[in-house]
Amino acid sequence: MTETTADFHPLSAAAQPIFDTVRSLNPNEPEFHQAVHEVLHSIGPVLERHPKYIENGILERLVEPERQIIFRVPWIDDSGRLRVNRGYRVQYNSALGPYKGGLRFHPSVNISIIKFLGFEQIFKNALTGQGIGGGKGGSNFDPHGKSEAEVMRFCQSFMNELYRHIGEHTDVPAGDIGVGGREIGYMFGMYRKITNRHESGILTGKGIGWGGAQVRTEATGYGAVFFVQSMLAVHGQTLEGKRVAVSGSGNVAIYAIEKAQQLGARAITASDSSGYIVDDAGIDLGLLRQIKEVERGRIVEYANRRPGARFVEGGNVWEVPVDIAVPSATQNELNLDSARMLIANGVRAVAEGANMPSTPEAVGAFQDSDVLFAPGKAANAGGVGTSALEMSQNASRQRWNFDHSEQKLRDIMTDIHDASFRAAERYGTPGDYVAGANIAGFERVADAMLAQGVI
Ligand code: NDP
């Protein structure tokens, strides 16, 4: 990835030296720089109005993780060969509560990716209004093409180190790319064996039968669509009849498609790293789930089995004309050219289901064209918000039903929308959800840090 952020938006005089230090202390970490730059840019007006944040060194402390753990993950493959991967857990900020954030298993994982995700997570978690700090972890392990037994052995080895660093009141990981219910199950099992304790509160995203919460699986995708609903409502519009493009075909994508369809829209695309499918009749969710969740197959299978659908190998899903786009695969998957195509085709709203899927240039293009744009830290916060609900249910030994849990998720998303909207207005950038989300998240965590002293 080329680094473009440094020259994209000017930073305030107070923020620029912080960013320069971040770059010199963390060289070759472009995703991390990109995430920090965006937040420092957004909070410029807050720093100007409230010098206390600068005077008390909040920025210097915020950009430096409280703790970074890197460890060896050895495991034996099915042919008896020893393999070694690298494991990470970055415990970024615990001013608002125990560290909370997912684990990503993907070959691209490195310290830059984990730090960008952990940094974003601080503000996202603050936005949910719940008592959760920010953290992230994962490994460069690639679950694709591995047998069940290999995935299990890897997860067990990963937990064999991670268990020392997590806990209900310390750090509560969850899933992310490559980590779903199956992997959480294997990791939870290993934790229980090592510690001889059935502590539900150490991971979220657990199975419904053994401590998991209703709606957690659906929460991120559903939440992103609820956020679109709120943005459209400000302009007196609804999802009814809208054409929606979703990228990815994993956890976030599948449930974004489901909720968009339940609310009267027509979701017509899905993708994976091999290409995308278009189904003008609307995605057959049962078929997509069968291929992706049950068979763990490739997206081309969908077009092979569904009359009228087509597969575009290696294609760019954003070339499909739609009213709404929900990028739900990975970081920087939607660049300036893609944004221009979406805009030329009349896109009305973009909500990031994934973390940082749009490049800074793409975000700028959407905002310059008055496209409603929801950044990931607001639009995909329903996942972690519902994880916090799972934590409360574990702590109180309660079990909420689906409808109650979905209503809670809806309330969380409405509150995040409104908090971001209001913060943008307060600082003179109405309709700018990027600024609003960063400011609202920053104020909450920075005030907690101020109150808790220099630690
Ligand atoms: P999954 O592993 O379930 O699905 C990921 C999907 O994205 C797959 O279809 C995958 O295709 C595709 N993808 C991943 N990496 C790439 C890549 N480099 N190029 C092209 N396609 C890619 O992950 P999730 O759905 O859980 O996560 C998706 C995004 O949402 C991530 O950015 C994650 O951080 C974010 N997110 C997830 C939350 C959650 O609750 N799960 C919460 C908040 C944010 P393939 O199989 O070919 O790799």
Residue nearest (by alpha carbon) to ligand 1 atom 28: 329
Q: Partners of 167 in the beta sheet? A: 171
The pTM of the full predicted model, rounded to 2 decimals, is 0.97
Residue 136 is among the residues annotated as catalytic for this protein: yes
Give the residue from 44, 34, 26, 31 showing the smallest Cα distance to 5. 34
Q: Per-residue b/e over 268-298, b at no fewer than 16 CB within 10 Å?
A: bbbbbeebbbbbeeebebeebbebbbeeeeb
Looking from the CA of residue 384, the nearest atom of ligand 1 is 42
Residues 302-323 have pLDDT tens digits of 999 999 999 999 999 999 999 9
Q: What is the mean pLDDT of residues 287-292?
A: 98
For residues 179 and 158, give the distance between their C-alpha atoms in angstroms, rounded to a whole number. Answer: 12
Q: Are 148 and 115 in contact (CB under 8 A)?
A: no
- Of 8 and 86, the one with more pLDDT: 86
Enter the DSSP assignment of 354: S
For residues 396 and 205, give the distance between their C-alpha atoms in angstroms, rounded to a whole number. Answer: 17
For residues 84 and 86, give the distance between their C-alpha atoms in angstroms, rounded to a whole number. Answer: 7
Q: What is the mean pLDDT of residues 275-285?
A: 98
Q: What is the pLDDT of residue 189?
A: 98
Q: Tell me the backbone φ, ψ of residue 274, rounded to 5 degrees.
A: -95, -20
Enter the DSSP assignment of 372: E
Q: Are 295 and 281 in contact (CB under 8 A)?
A: no
Looking from the CA of residue 330, the nearest atom of ligand 1 is 32
If one residue of 252, 288, 413 were mutated to test the ligand 1 pocket, choosing by the most ligand atoms within 8 A of its CB, it would be 252
Q: Which of 136, 146, 242, 292 is catalytic?
A: 136
* Ligand 1 centroid distance, CA of 332 (Å): 12
- In this prediction, what percent of the chain has a pLDDT beyond 90? 98
Give the residue from 191, 126, 203 showing the smallest Cα distance to 387. 203
If one residue of 132, 273, 317, 377 were mutated to test the ligand 1 pocket, choosing by the most ligand atoms within 8 A of its CB, it would be 273
Q: List the alpha helices (DSSP H) in 51-135.
A: 52-55, 58-63, 111-127
Enumerate helices (H) and strands (E) in the chain, giving the number of each.
Answer: 18, 13
Numbered ranges of CATH 3.40.50.720 in the chain: 219-379
* Ligand 1 centroid distance, CA of 104 (Å): 9
Q: What is the pLDDT of residue 366?
A: 98
Q: What is the mean pLDDT of residues 60-87?
A: 98
For residues 356 and 332, give the distance between their C-alpha atoms in angstroms, rounded to a whole number. Answer: 6
Q: What is the pLDDT of residue 352?
A: 98
Letter for the amino acid at 420?
S
If one residue of 177, 220, 389 were mutated to test the ligand 1 pocket, choosing by the most ligand atoms within 8 A of its CB, it would be 177
For residues 177 and 386, give the distance between their C-alpha atoms in angstroms, rounded to a whole number. Answer: 17
Give the residue from 353, 354, 375 showing the smallest Cα distance to 363. 375
Pick the CATH number of 67-199 from 3.40.50.10860, 3.10.20.30, 3.40.50.20, 3.40.50.360: 3.40.50.10860
For residues 54 and 354, give the distance between their C-alpha atoms in angstroms, rounded to a whole number. Answer: 31
Q: What is the mean pLDDT of residues 59-83?
A: 98
Q: What is the pLDDT of residue 1?
A: 40
Chain centroid offset of residue 57 CA: 28
Residues 440, 442, 444: CA angle, nearest 5 degrees: 75
Ligand 1 pocket, residues with Cβ under 6 angstroms: 175-178, 180, 220, 248-253, 272-273, 328-330, 353-355, 380, 383
Q: Are 22 and 115 in contact (CB under 8 A)?
A: no
Q: Are 204 and 391 in contact (CB under 8 A)?
A: yes
Q: What is the pLDDT of residue 224?
A: 98
Letter for the amino acid at 449?
M
Contacts for 88 with CB less than 8 Å, ≥ 6 apart: 68, 69, 70, 71, 109, 111, 114, 136, 137, 138, 139
Residues 212-250 have pLDDT tens digits of 999 999 999 999 999 999 999 999 999 999 999 999 999
Looking from the CA of residue 117, the nearest atom of ligand 1 is 34
Q: Tell me the backbone φ, ψ of residue 239, rounded to 5 degrees.
A: -85, -15
49 CB burial (10 A radius; 0-12, 13-18, 19+): exposed
Query: What's the CATH class of domain 219-379?
Result: alpha beta
Residues 358-397 have pLDDT tens digits of 999 999 999 999 999 999 999 999 999 999 999 999 999 9
* Ligand 1 centroid distance, CA of 140 (Å): 14
3-state SS string for 48-68: HHCCHHHHCCHHHHHHCCCEE
* Ligand 1 centroid distance, CA of 122 (Å): 20
Give the residue from 379, 381, 362 showing the smallest Cα distance to 230. 379
* Ligand 1 centroid distance, CA of 142 (Å): 13
Q: Partners of 373 in the beta sheet? A: 350
Residue nearest (by alpha carbon) to ligand 1 atom 30: 354
With bands split at pLDDT 50, 70 and 90, how would you rate the model's confidence at 2? very low
Residue nearest (by alpha carbon) to ligand 1 atom 43: 380
Q: Which two tokens stand for residue 441?
A: 């998240």
- In this prediction, what percent of the chain has a pLDDT beyond 70? 98
* Ligand 1 centroid distance, CA of 55 (Å): 39
Looking from the CA of residue 272, the nearest atom of ligand 1 is 11
Q: What is the pLDDT of residue 9?
A: 81
Numbered ranges of CATH 3.40.50.10860 in the chain: 67-199
* Ligand 1 centroid distance, CA of 120 (Å): 16
Residue nearest (by alpha carbon) to ligand 1 atom 36: 354
Q: How many CA atoms lie within 13 Å of 243's alpha carbon, on the beta-carbon side?
A: 15
Report the chain's mean pLDDT, rounded to a whole number: 97
Looking from the CA of residue 387, the nearest atom of ligand 1 is 40
Q: Partners of 244 in the beta sheet? A: 267, 324
Residue nearest (by alpha carbon) to ligand 1 atom 40: 383
Q: What is the pLDDT of residue 8?
A: 63
Going by DSSP bridges, is the β-strand pair 310-313/275-278 parallel, antiparallel, or unpaired? antiparallel
Residue nearest (by alpha carbon) to ligand 1 atom 3: 250
